[in-house]
Each structure stands twice: as structure tokens, then as C-alpha cells.
Amino acid sequence: MIFQRIGSIFIYVCLNLIAHGFHAPRNLFNRRITVKMSLTQSPSLKKVIVLGGDGFCGWPTALHLSDIGHEVIIVDNLSRRKIDVELGCDSLTPIAAIQDRCNVWNSVSGKRIKFKYIDVATEYAELLQLLKDEKPDSVVHFAEQRAAPYSMRTPKSKRYTVDNNLSGTNNLLCAIVESELDIHVVHLGTMGVYGYGTSGGEIPEGYLDVLLPGGRPATILHPAYPGSIYHLTKCLDALTFQFYNKNDGIRVTDLHQGIVWGTNTLQTVRDERLINRFDYDGDYGTVLNRFLMQASLNIPLTVYGTGGQTRAFIHISDTARCIEIAINNPPAPGNVLTSLRLYVYTHAHMYVCLRFSLCSWKNNQMSLVLMPLS
């Protein structure tokens, strides 16, 4: 019952963000950044390996790519499920075993997704052999520990995040070089690599054209300002991509998105066993999910600080479509393409939209609690 209630609230929130958010006052919402790449999509279907394809972003993306005709292979070590055991929590939505998920999708769609259990951070030989055997056109890289709070939780989680994320990225790129295959890497980065301060300028697009001392022109990575170990690994990912591109000519598209929200897509609603994750805990639950849980239980919404923090949000369906566009538009050999697609809201604006959305709920007494920033 609680998820039905949250689902109904979620629909209201989505409708009101669409209806009202795009016309909000400039100090609340004022920017839409679009992908800086050609949207002329190639008609050719490709073989795509999705690393981290059992996760929150990876699973719906894998289904989306399969649904439009690409041959999809999911690679995962199921680490997100193991972290649920560690934290003593679980997705609010019931998540089927990955083998069951794939079998159900293959049955309802008439397509075929394969699953390989590989830890890309530690099982280099298996990853290399998979690339040689399958010869994919593209590899979508989601295989990273994605929660900033978890990355700062304990010394163990800090080390795990660094070991897993950086080793996984380096192993993938090194394996592509050793395989001698021309494989396009599509990586999901984050806006958080630039920090959350207000520079007064446009949101950076990854690289900057600058003049060095003496008037020498150069293109450099935009200065990073990570706020967590997780964001630090994403900054180092960018440096790693730049190096392998310069040194080995690997083609990379690094998509820097904002906070991904939403639960289901057109593909995951076809069977309840395909449903995506809904995390609401303190480590993996994003702010919108946390607000929805609190609102559904008539618990005051906990907004940290003044609520004026500006964050970028993108729906999970748009994440999958961004990956599709990137796959169909690989950069020319020798290029790294960094691009953004997002909508920007403040936490207070989300609270206003959520409160407006709940106006039809009888006896709902939603209130706001401002929490100190630690």
C-alpha cells in the first residue's frame, strides 16, 4: 500500500514539475543544458555490453537498448545487492534475481539479453576474454559505486569506492587496448565533479579552451572540485579517459548528468519482475525519493540548510535515451566527447512542487524541517 501511495504522489510530482517547474522564477529554475552532439542517429544496430547492467541506471538502459534492437550483454558482479545486505536495507520495490529479470525480458519482448557475472575491477582476464569473444561495438560503463554518502561512510567504504571505480575504469580501457578492437566507451559521469558552488558562469561542458602563459592556446579539462570520494573517482575517470584517448586513441563519450530520478520506464512496466530500484535509505536514496517517503508517511520533509542548494535532475528514461544517442553518435577517432543533459531545481523548489502535488491528499499535513549542514 505504501508504494501505491508513493507511486500516486510520484505521478503528481512529475506532472507538476513538468507543468510548473519549467516556468518557475529564474532564481528557482533557469537552465536547460542539451547534449552537444549530433542527434542524427545511425540506423545500424550494434552489439553493446552494459557494465553494471543490474543497477538502477544500468538495468533500464539495457532494456531500452534491447527494445530498440541492439544486441545487449549485461555484465555485473551484483555488488549493489551485496551492499543492501551490508546496510541492512533494500529497495522498496521488489527486485527479482538478475537471471529471472533477463529471462522475463526475453519472454515478454521477444529479444535476448545475456548476463555475465564478472567483477571488472578484479577479474581483468575474464573481461578481456569477453571483449575478444563478443567484439562489441560499444561498452556502456555503469560499473561503479554510485553513492556519495556511502563513499564517505567508513574507511572501508572509501577504499572500496576508489578500488572498485578506478580499477574498473582502468581495466576496461586497458582491456580494449589489449584486445586491439575499436570499441566506443560510453560512460555515465556526474555534474558533481565540478562541485556545487556558484561560479557565476555557465555549467562547464568538460573541456575548456584556454590561453596559457605566453598566449599559447590549449584545451584542458575543466578544473574539478569534488565533494566526496565518489566524486573524486569520477574526476580521476575523466583524467583516465583523457590519457587513454591521447595515448591509445580510444573513443569515449563521457555523459555528465545530474541526479537521476524516477523508477519505471516503458520497458520495466511490462512485467512486475522487471521493475527498477526505488532506494530511500540515507546512503542510496536520493533527495526526491526521501521526500516522497516522508510525505507519504506524513513525516516532516528534512531539507538540509536553507533548501537553496541547486541540483540538476534527469529522469531515468532520459538517461537511457542519452545513452542511445551517444551509442549512435560515437566521436571521431582520437576524440573524447563530454556532454550534459539535465534540468536544474533547488531543494526548496522541489518542496514547493511536492506540497502543491499533495494538495488533493485528504488530511495530509506536510511540513518542512530545515536540517543543519554538517
φ, ψ dihedrals at 190, nearest 5°: -150, 145
CA 269 to CA 100: how far, in whole Å?
A: 15
**Intra-chain end-to-end CA distance of the chain, in Å:** 34
CA 264 to CA 134: how far, in whole Å?
A: 29
Examine the residue annotation and report whether 234 is marked as an active-site residue of this protein.
yes
Examine the residue annotation and report whether 47 is marked as an active-site residue of this protein.
no
CA 138 to CA 316: how far, in whole Å?
A: 20
Nearest to 192 by CA among 148, 240, 136: 148
CA 354 to CA 105: how far, in whole Å?
A: 33
Whether the CB-CB separation of 53 and 62 falls below 8 Å is answered with: yes
Whether the CB-CB separation of 306 and 370 falls below 8 Å is answered with: yes
Spot the catalytic one: 61, 169, 190, 268.
Answer: 190
Q: What is the largest CA-CA distance in the chain?
A: 68
Q: What stretches of the chain show up as alpha helix (H) in DSSP?
A: 2-20, 58-67, 79-87, 98-109, 124-134, 148-151, 155-179, 229-248, 287-296, 316-328, 347-357
Say how many C-beta atoms besides its own lie within 10 A of residue 15's C-beta. 12
Instruction: Give, as one character, the DSSP assignment of residue 120.
Output: T
Spot the catalytic one: 12, 169, 194, 234.
Answer: 234
Spot the catalytic one: 124, 230, 244, 284.
Answer: 230
Examine the residue annotation and report whether 230 is marked as an active-site residue of this protein.
yes
Q: Which residues of 149-173 are buried (b: 16+ CB within 10 A; e: fewer)?
A: ebbbbeeebbebbbebbbebbbbbb
Angle between helices 316-328 and 58-67 (to 10 degrees): 60
CA 96 to CA 74: how far, in whole Å?
A: 15
Catalytic residue numbers read: 190, 230, 234
